[in-house]
Every structure is written in structure tokens, then in C-alpha cells.
A and B are shown apart, each in its own frame.
Chain A
């Protein structure tokens, strides 16, 4: 095992796949010689050269359009959209073209590509450079949606996304990029659609994604140490395919479920999770499913304001306690 940062793990996954498959190509704005605005593609241009690692103009339509055209004719493109907020500029490709062409063509056309994009808050960039938009992608039939929380998963899940025969939107969280942890050396591939239980507890089940995972883990420690609440913490890792089996089993085991979501409240991913849980294991629930989300506001820039809206460790602890208390009071 080597210690790698999340950002280096991203580059390691791409390098691993480019070495084994000549069809894999990488491009986006500043992704080649510059190594990416977030330094997630450092070293790839040097190793694979300008034929396979390319810089594009600031043309989000052309980036995703070209990725799609290349994917449907035999390549396995990895296209970078610098900030996930910019997906709005090329949403036609994400929602109408890439997602639907296999279906509309009755399976004649395959689109094996990965859209990598930097997602999430923590950098104080304000409302157009900090959003969590994984729920946008989740709403579109035909897209797989993956958001790793650790360096090991950044490598393993990205490798799997590149090998996947379907389009995958891969959300790299900006506030996790510098995190370092153990990453398996050599070939590492993690299957898509498998949630991971990171901590077993008996009182509540906390379901989190990406940057909310480490916060949920910290909150669980506080809940255990200071409030005697024993929490299971689960990292969903991918929204589509969704590991409903694991999340239903873990939810049924405690009967008290909390989602921790960075996306804004309305139609955030937790709403779908809650819907699945109440439909299928209503009888096992001991209280309402509580969603802990960013409120339904655009993201503010100032650090104090950003910290006030995105779920924090303190807020997770508080909302879990309130959720359990209101149940007791009822």
C-alpha cells in the first residue's frame, strides 16, 4: 500500500487504464501539460503524449460532444469538465445526447465514456464554482453517477468507470483532493454500485456521499463519545447504480435513518433514498427518515457563510440528536 492523495489517485487511475487500453484518451481544459486546474492529471501528458492527452479550447459543448462522438466510434474518452457547475453549459450533451442515444438507437450505439468533474464546496468559490450537482445527474435515465470519498475509491472507482460500457459522470470532490490515505498499489478496480459500510452501530444509520462521508464519520465518533448514540455510517459511493440492498439492510437494522447530503434540499439524492426505504421497509422504521442537507439556497462565498450552510460535523450531531429527541417526545 502506498500513501496517495485523492488527486494523485485520480491521475493514477487514469494512467493505469491508459497503460492497459490504447482506446483510453483524456482531454479537457488545461488537462495536458498543465496537469489540470486541480492537478488531478499531473504526469499523464508526460507519459502518454499529445496524441492521447489533449488540451481543449474553453468549449464545454465541444468537449462533451467530441467525447461522445469518439466513444460511439471506438474510443474510451475521459473528458474533464473543470467545475461541475459548468455542466450546466453542456447539459444538452449530458442529459439529451450521451444519456439517451443508446436507448433511442435501440442499442445500436454504445457510449463508453467518463465525464470527470470537480464538485462541491469548501473552497469559498461562491455559487457558481462550489455546487454539489450529483443529484442533477442522478435525475437522468442512462447515466451512472459516482462520487468517491477516499483516495483508494478515487482510484478504484474511476478505473471501473473507465472500463464501464456506459456513460459515467464521476464527481471528484474539491475539498477531498488533498486528503492522503492508503491506496492499493498495482491494478486496483472497485466495482460500481457497491456501497461501503464504514462503521457499524446499533442505534442509527447514517448514509453519506463524497465529502459528507468523513464528516459523518466524525459526527459518529462525537455521538458515541458524548451522547451514547451508536451509529452505522455508510458511504454510498455511487448513486447510479444504487446499492439498495445494502442501504435497506443497514436501515432496517437500526430503524433510524439519516442522510447527509451536500446538494441543496429539493430533490436531493436523499429524497430518492428515503422514498425507497419507506416504500420497502416501512415496518422496520422506528421514526421518520431525516435528511440533513444544504438548505435550498445558492452557496455563499464567505467562509463563515459557506460553513454555515453545508452540513458540518456539529450540525450532523445536532440534527441526529434533534431527530432522536423529537421521536422520544412524540
Chain B
């Protein structure tokens, strides 16, 4: 794998404060455990509908979330559990939503593909590919207009770079110099088709950056330190009025596109190569090598598991939503009346 790392390299690890590094580890562990649990719950028929796991892509979510201010805005896709958790939405509310329970983030009205937690800056997960990029630009414009120094960040896949909304959003963000960061999680596949088979350039996001006067950035998306450093710089630039950034993170999903997909279309060796570069293992080993005690990491892991087990049980015990809620919140008055 050849990665242009720009100024971001693993050596940067030493510049990142230990508290941040431990947080990056904790976030990745929590996401990994929670995504695996979501899969188990699906096998038990407790998670209905579809879900798109981010197993293997934890470093992107952790790196970006750790670089954000609490009032920054996250806009993600249907593959958004990791970003929602990384911003601090409780596991109970996320799993509860996947299970269609009253305790869910949206009380079962959105489902896995639409996780939203405004209290944590998660301004929605969008299931129409690319749709949220212009929306993130609009939120960034609003922040700029209100002078709040907030930054909006849109996460999207490699496949989204071929849809018009990607290009319209980048152009508008560049023209209006908006405080927005566009993060492409290039996991090499759209649903079942390799992105290289349907894209005119090698790097679906970064190779388009120049068209919008933006810097070309391709980074190792499986290295949380690299992601964190790149995100931190992009957020600082946006906050200081420097305009948008586009960062392409190279990563890989360990499982299929959605829960129904066994991902047979991927070469075995390719998967094995990427499993060797598992972001969570990679980061754990790096922390150990840099002198963090095994006990410290084990404690983070066991605490994450305890938290997850408690959340799982609480979600299972949560009632299903009241049937009246299907008729509420069409309008701001809470109702659904279209006539008098």
C-alpha cells in the first residue's frame, strides 16, 4: 500500500498528548466492540432492517472525533454508527435505535441508517449517497454567518465522489470559503464494485481536490494518529477562516457492505493484507511500544466491554416505541395534520 502521508506520519504519535492517545484507543475499542455487538444482535434477530458496519474503519471516526470541538457538526452516512459513537452518543441509544426501541436515539423513527444526536453534534446520518455534503456546507455557512467558529464535517465513502452533490458541495464550499471538512473514507468499494472500476482517477477524492483549488491529501486511514493530526490541522484551518479541506483516508471494511453481504467479491489476499493492518491492533501495539502499560489498555478494554454489556441489556429491556409516535413530529408543532 502506498500512502502519501504529507506531513502526517506515525512519528507524530509522540507529539500527541498521552491523554489524547488513550482517548483515540478507547474510542476505537468502544466502536469495535459495539459494531461487533450490533452484528451479534442482528444474528439474534434483535436488530431489524439493514445496517452497515464500520468494522475496520474505527481509526477514521476516532481520529476525527478527537480533533473536534464539542459544538462542531458531524454529518455522516448510513455507515455512521462509528461516527455517532465517537462523538459521544451513548451505546444504549445507538443499539436501542438499531433494535427499534423506545430508548433509541430517535425512538425507532430513523433506524440504523439515520442515527442523529444533535446533543452530540451528530446532525444526522444520510442514506442518499452524497446528499449530506451540501448540507454540511450549509451548516458551515450558518456557523460562518453566526460567527460561532464551529466547523462542519462530512464523512462519506469513495463511491460518493462520483455523485453530483460531492462536486457541487466542494465548489460552493471553496467559493464561499466555508469552515467545512470533507472526509472521504476510501474503503475501495462502493457496494460490491471496486471503486477503481468506475472512477476516472486513482484517488477518487484527492485527485479531484485540485478542481476546487484544494490541497491533495491522501492519508493512512487505519492509523489513528495520522488521522487525528490531519483532522486537527483541517479543523484549525477551517476555524481560522482558511476555508474547506478534503481528506481522503485509505481504509477497508472488514465485513460486507451491509449485513446481507458476505463480500465474496473481494480477493482473499486483499482482505488478509488489510486485516494485518487492523487499526485497533495497530494502535494497541503502538501504545505498548511507546511505553503505555498493558494494564492501562486492558482496563480500557474491560471497561468498554462492561459498558457495552450494560447497554445491551438495557436496550433489550427497553420497551418498543408507543405506536402513536409513528404519527408525531411531522411538523414543528409535534403533529402530522395536513388539513383542518
Query: Which residues of A line the B interface, CB within 8 A?
Result: 25, 51, 54, 56-57, 59, 61-62, 64-75, 77, 92-93, 96-97, 101-110, 112, 141-142, 165-166, 193, 240-245, 276
Q: How far is the CA of A244 from the CA of B337 in the complex (A)?
A: 11
Minimal beta-carbon separation of A74 from chain B (angstroms): 6
Q: Which residue of B lies closest to A101 (CB)?
A: B124
Check A108–B165 contact: CB distance below 8 A. no
Check A141–B336 contact: CB distance below 8 A. yes
The interface bits of chain B over 300-340 (1 if a CB of A lies within 8 angstroms of the residue's CB, else 0) are 00000000000000000000000001001111111011111
Q: How far is the CA of A188 from the CA of B176 in the complex (A)?
A: 33
Check A69–B134 contact: CB distance below 8 A. yes
Check A244–B339 contact: CB distance below 8 A. yes
Check A105–B168 contact: CB distance below 8 A. no
Q: How far is the CA of A108 from the CA of B123 in the complex (A)?
A: 9
B325 contacts which chain A residues (CB < 8 A)? 106
Check B165–A65 contact: CB distance below 8 A. yes
B138 contact from A66, A142, A165, Cβ within 8 A? A66
Supply 13 A–B pairs (Cβ within 8 Å), ascending by A. A57-B175, A61-B165, A65-B132, A69-B138, A69-B139, A69-B152, A70-B142, A70-B145, A74-B142, A101-B124, A104-B114, A106-B105, A244-B340
B141 contact from A70, A110, A112, Cβ within 8 A? A70
- Chain B residues numbered 91-117 whose CB sits less than 8 Å from any CB in chain A: 105-107, 109-110, 114, 116-117
Minimal beta-carbon separation of A137 from chain B (angstroms): 12
Q: How far is the CA of A58 from the CA of B20 in the complex (A)?
A: 43
Check A97–B109 contact: CB distance below 8 A. no
A108-B116, A142-B330 as given contacts; A69 in contact with B142, CB under 8 Å = yes
A66-B141, A105-B118, A241-B340 as given contacts; A110 in contact with B106, CB under 8 Å = no
Interface centre among A108, A110, A112 (most CB of B within 10 A): A108
Minimal beta-carbon separation of B12 from chain A (angstroms): 32
A62 contact from B171, B331, B338, Cβ within 8 A? B171
Check A66–B123 contact: CB distance below 8 A. no
Check A107–B328 contact: CB distance below 8 A. yes
Q: How far is the CA of A75 from the CA of B136 in the complex (A)?
A: 14
B328 contacts which chain A residues (CB < 8 A)? 107
| Nearest 8 CB-CB pairings of A with B | A65-B134, A69-B138, A66-B138, A165-B332, A62-B168, A69-B139, A59-B168, A106-B106
Check B137–A106 contact: CB distance below 8 A. no
Check B339–A69 contact: CB distance below 8 A. no
Q: Which residue of B lies closest to A54 (CB)?
A: B176
Check B123–A72 contact: CB distance below 8 A. yes
Check A93–B141 contact: CB distance below 8 A. no
A62-B134, A165-B332 as given contacts; A109 in contact with B124, CB under 8 Å = yes
Check B141–A69 contact: CB distance below 8 A. yes
A59-B171, A166-B331, A242-B339 as given contacts; A66 in contact with B137, CB under 8 Å = yes
A66-B138, A72-B123 as given contacts; A102 in contact with B145, CB under 8 Å = no
A25 contacts which chain B residues (CB < 8 A)? 145
Check B126–A97 contact: CB distance below 8 A. yes
Q: How far is the CA of A25 from the CA of B331 in the complex (A)?
A: 22
Known: A59-B168, A65-B135. 4 other contacts (CB 8 A): A72-B135, A73-B138, A74-B146, A243-B339
Minimal beta-carbon separation of A52 from chain B (angstroms): 8
- Chain B residues numbered 124-156 whose CB sits less than 8 Å from any CB in chain A: 124, 126, 128, 131-143, 145-146, 152
B330 contacts which chain A residues (CB < 8 A)? 102-103, 141-142
B141 contacts which chain A residues (CB < 8 A)? 66, 69-70
Minimal beta-carbon separation of B193 from chain A (angstroms): 22
